[in-house]
């Protein structure tokens, strides 16, 4: 006899296996997600700052990034006027918004602003921007006098960064 279809017992077993796998996988996923969102936000800032550096060299002008800590956003632009403020006629390279649950907790950059000169080097004092997520993880982007960027993290609440 050739019957097509599944029995109730077969369906029950398959649904039970799917349920057990979900119970195991969901907590791991929920623990992984905040870390992933923080790393993604840090990587976006890092990439946009690198883009600003290369645009400054290519256009032979200063590229500036301004962080808005209360809004958890940033703007990258070519500062042809030299006033370190985004004017209507200046070229915006990028605007960024952080992932859900990620906040800019602080910055050691003067006025939360950084610039690259036409040689891709620092046009302002070096420093870092720091981000956190709801789990208390801390990461950021550091820029030195030479304009070199690095992704940093802290495991002791922000006292030391590496």
* Residue 141 domain flag: yes
* Residue 105 domain flag: yes
The C-alpha atoms of residue 133 and residue 131 are separated, in whole angstroms, by: 7
pLDDT confidence band for 38 (50 / 70 / 90): very high
Compare 85 and 28 and report the one with higher pLDDT: 85
The residues, ordered by sequence, that sit 6+ positions from 16 with a Cβ below 8 Å of its Cβ are: none
Structural domain of 31: 8-154
- The tens digit of pLDDT for each residue in 120-141 reads 999 888 999 999 998 889 999 9
CATH of the domain at 114: 3.55.40.10
The C-alpha atoms of residue 24 and residue 35 are separated, in whole angstroms, by: 19
- The tens digit of pLDDT for each residue in 14-34 reads 999 999 998 888 888 878 889
* Residue 161 domain flag: no
pTM of the model: 0.84
* Residue 126 domain flag: yes
pLDDT at 1 over 60: no
Indicate the number of domains in the chain: 1
pLDDT at 65 over 60: yes
């Amino acid at each position: 006899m050739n019957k097509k279809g599944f029995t109730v017992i077969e369906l029950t077993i398959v649904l039970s296996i799917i349920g057990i796998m979900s119970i195991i996988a969901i907590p791991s996923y929920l623990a992984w997600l905040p870390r992933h969102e923080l790393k993604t936000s840090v990587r976006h800032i890092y990439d946009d700052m690198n883009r600003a550096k290369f645009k400054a060299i290519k256009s032979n002008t200063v590229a500036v990034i301004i962080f808005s800590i209360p809004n958890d956003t940033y703007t990258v632009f070519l500062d042809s006027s030299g006033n370190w403020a985004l004017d209507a006629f200046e070229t915006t390279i990028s605007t960024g918004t952080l992932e859900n649950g990620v906040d800019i907790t602080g910055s050691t950059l003067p006025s939360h602003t950084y610039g690259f000169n036409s040689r891709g080097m620092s046009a302002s004092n070096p420093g870092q921007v720091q981000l956190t997520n709801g789990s208390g993880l801390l990461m950021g982007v550091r820029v030195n006098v030479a304009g070199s960027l690095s992704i940093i993290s802290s495991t002791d609440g922000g006292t030391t960064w590496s």
